Structure 1
């Protein structure tokens, strides 16, 4: 299973919506290759519409469980990924759990150095 890490939190709801759509596109692209994908942004965005928080502090424990169970982490390198507290934490946790980390850009993918 691939854990799809991508930035989400932002004070502007329009930016959150754009990031959600980018995560959806990346998840669909990966699903079309036949792999299993879990995207916390895709799940969390839908649930946040019912009043759940959108920050890493709230989602950390939940996402950590998915990270433990995944085979690898793929980071979607859209605007904000380097500054994202959640993405940085997900990369760190992946390394702690011994999971490979790859980076996905528009139409390209590379393995972490």
Structure 2
């Protein structure tokens, strides 16, 4: 069984783009789960919770999620990046790619592997 950490660009000044990214992450996570693989979608988990953390700025939210994400990064065998616009500019995705790459774990773009989950 594949154990997948799903990365997706998230932050943006335009809230409608944030919502679009959240929905894209959910759609991909659903497809992966339906295939029988284990998936942890960080954006799917954090977005609804972040709505209850309005008192925290971007740094505060990042500090809150960093140790939680670390647990899931270590538990998963591979990384799939939802290659929506903005993924190349995402510092979080860059860190996640580095984490998996330096441990010789598979890193893929969703557009390259989505047929594996059809």
Pairwise same-fold verdict (TM > 0.5): yes
* 1:92 corresponds to 2:94: no
* 1:57 corresponds to 2:62: yes
CA distance in 1, matches of 2:92, 2:109: 15
- Mapping 1:21-40, distance limit 5 Å: 21-40=23-42
Once the 2 structures are TM-superposed, how far is the Cα of residue 62 of structure 1 from its aligned partner?
Answer: 1.8
- Residues 69-111 of structure 1, C-alpha deviation per residue, up to 9 Å, x if partnerless? 1011111101100011111111011112332111102xx418x
More helix, by proportion: 2
Q: RMSD of aligned C-alpha atoms? A: 1.9
| 1:42 alignment partner in structure 2 | 44
Structure with greater contact order relative to length (CA < 8 Å, sep ≥ 6): 2
Which shows bigger deviation, 77-86 or 59-68? 59-68
Number of equivalenced pairs: 108
Name structure 2 gaps, 5 residues minimum. none
Q: Which runs of 4+ in 1 moved over 4 A?
A: 52-56
TM value normalised by structure 1: 0.86
CA distance in 2, matches of 1:86, 1:12: 18
